[in-house]
Structure 1
Amino acid sequence: MNKDLFTGIDPSTTLSVTVTRGCPLNCAHCGGHYLKHMVHVEELEKYVDRYKSFLISGGMLPNGEIPFGGYINYLKELKEKYGLKYNFHIGFPLQPPYEIEEVADVVSFDFYADRNVLREVYGIEREPEQILNAVLPLKVKKVPHVTIGALCGKISHEEKAIEILSKYFESVVLNVFIPTPLTKYANCQPPEIEDVALVFSKASDLFKNVVLGCMQPKGEYRRMLQERIQKYAGFIVKPTTKSYDYHGCCSFYV
Structure 2
Amino acid sequence: MDSAVGTDGLLKLLEYYYKLGFRGFLVSGGFNADGYLPLGSEHLSTLREFKRGKEVFLSVHSGLMPRELLDRAMEVFDLVDFEVPPSDRYVKEGRGLRRTCGDYLSLLSYVVNEYGEDRVAPHVVIGSSLSTAEEDLNIVEEVGRVTSRLVVLLVAMGSTPPEVSRVVAPFEVARRYFKEVALGCMRPRSLGKVFEELVLEGYVDRVVNPSRRLMGELPAELYGSCCSLPVASLGTFRLGLGQGRGLG
Larger Rg: 2
Instruction: Work out whether 1:101 is the aligned partner of 2:70.
Output: no
Aligned-pair CA distance for 1:133 = 2.7
What is the identity, as a one-letter code, of the residue corresponding to 1:252?
A: L
Quote the Cα distance in structure 2 between the aligned partners of 1:121 and 1:208: 29
- The corresponding residue for 1:47 is 17
What is residue 118 of structure 1 aligned with on the other side?
91
Structure 2 gaps, min length 5:
232-248
Match of 1:178 in 2: 157
1:227 matched residue in structure 2: 196
Counterpart of 1:84 in structure 2 is 56
Look up the match of 1:127: 100
Please name the residue that 1:12 is paired with.
none
* Aligned position for 1:252: 229
Letter in 1 for 2:211: T
State the distance in 1 between where 2:160 and 2:130 align: 7
Pairwise CA distance, 1:94: 4.4
CA spacing shift, 1:71–1:130, aligned 2, 3 Å: same
- Structure 1 residue 129, shift from structure 2 partner: 2.4
Q: Does 1:150 align with 2:128?
A: yes
* Distance of aligned partners of 1:60 and 1:18 in 2 relative to their CA distance in 1, 3 Å threshold: farther
Q: CA deviation at 1:73?
A: 0.9
Which residue pairs with 2:167 in the alignment? 196
Measure the CA separation in 1 of the matches of 2:133 and 2:24: 33
Distance change (3 Å), C-alpha of 1:153 and 1:113: closer
Using the size of structure 1 for normalisation, the TM-score is 0.74
Q: Given the alignment, which residue of 43, 46, 50 partners 1:71?
A: 43
Deviation at 1:217, TM superposition (A): 2.1
C-alpha displacement of 1:113: 4.5
Q: Is the 8 A contact 2:126 2:154 kept in 1?
A: yes
Aligned sequence identity (%)? 27
Distance 1:156 1:249 in 2: 28
Using the TM superposition, name which of 42-51 and 228-237 deviates more.
42-51
For residues 204 and 215 of structure 1, what CA distance do their matches in structure 2 show? Answer: 19
Change (3 A) 1:150 1:94: farther
Partner of residue 164, structure 1 = 142
2:25–2:58 contact (8 Å) kept in structure 1: yes
Distance 1:113 1:237 in 2: 21
For 2:43 and 2:92, how far apart are their aligned partners in 1? 29
1:199 alignment partner AA: P
Number of residue pairs aligned between Structure 1 and Structure 2: 211
Tell me the amino acid that sits aligned with residue 204 of structure 1: R
Q: Partner of 1:251: helix, strand, or coil?
A: coil
Deviation, 1:154, is: 6.4
For the residue of structure 1 that corresponds to 2:174, the secondary structure is: helix
Cα distance in 1 between the residues matched to 2:67 and 2:184: 26
| Contact 2:86/2:101 (8 A) holds in 1 | yes
Per-residue CA deviations over 1:51-80 (Å, capped at 9, x if unaligned) read: 110111110000112112231111111112
One-letter amino acid of the counterpart of residue 35, structure 2: G
Distance in 2 of aligned mates of 1:71 and 1:133: 26
Q: Distance in 2 between matches of 1:94 and 1:102?
A: 15
- The AA in structure 1 aligned to 2:83 is D
Q: Which moved more, 1:59-68 or 1:41-50?
A: 41-50
Aligned counterparts of 1:149 and 1:105: Cα–Cα separation in 2: 30
CA distance in 2, matches of 1:20, 1:149: 35
